[in-house]
Amino acid sequence: MERARQALLGPEPASSVTGIALDWGFAHLGRFSVEYRERFGECPSQTLRRAQSKA
């Protein structure tokens, strides 16, 4: 989960939460999103938007 977060926040943020989740072995996207939110306090899409706005 931490590596997926780092990919979302990376210097060149990806264009897709789905792609990152699948790259890091999360086959069930809904479960990924729920677990991500529980762990980090925001949806993965919010993290990605924040990273893209800084890029």
Range of the domain at 39: 2-54
Q: How many domains does the chain have?
A: 1
**9-46 exposure pattern, b = at least 16 Cβ within 10 A, e = fewer:** eeeebeeebeebbeeeebeeeeebbeebeeebeeebee
pTM recorded for the entire structure: 0.88
Q: What is the pLDDT along the chain (55 residues), one digit of tens a residue?
A: 999 999 999 877 667 899 999 999 999 999 999 999 999 999 999 999 988 888 6
Do 47 and 53 meet the contact criterion of CB atoms below 8 Å apart?
no
Query: What confidence score (pLDDT) does residue 54 get?
Result: 80
Query: What confidence score (pLDDT) does residue 52 get?
Result: 85
Please compute, for residue 1, the number of CA atoms within 13 A of its CA located in the half-sphere on the CB side.
13
Q: What is the CATH number of the domain that holds 49?
A: 1.10.10.60
Distance of CA 1 to the CA centre of its chain: 9
How many CB atoms sit inside 10 A of residue 54's CB?
Answer: 9
Query: What confidence score (pLDDT) does residue 55 get?
Result: 67
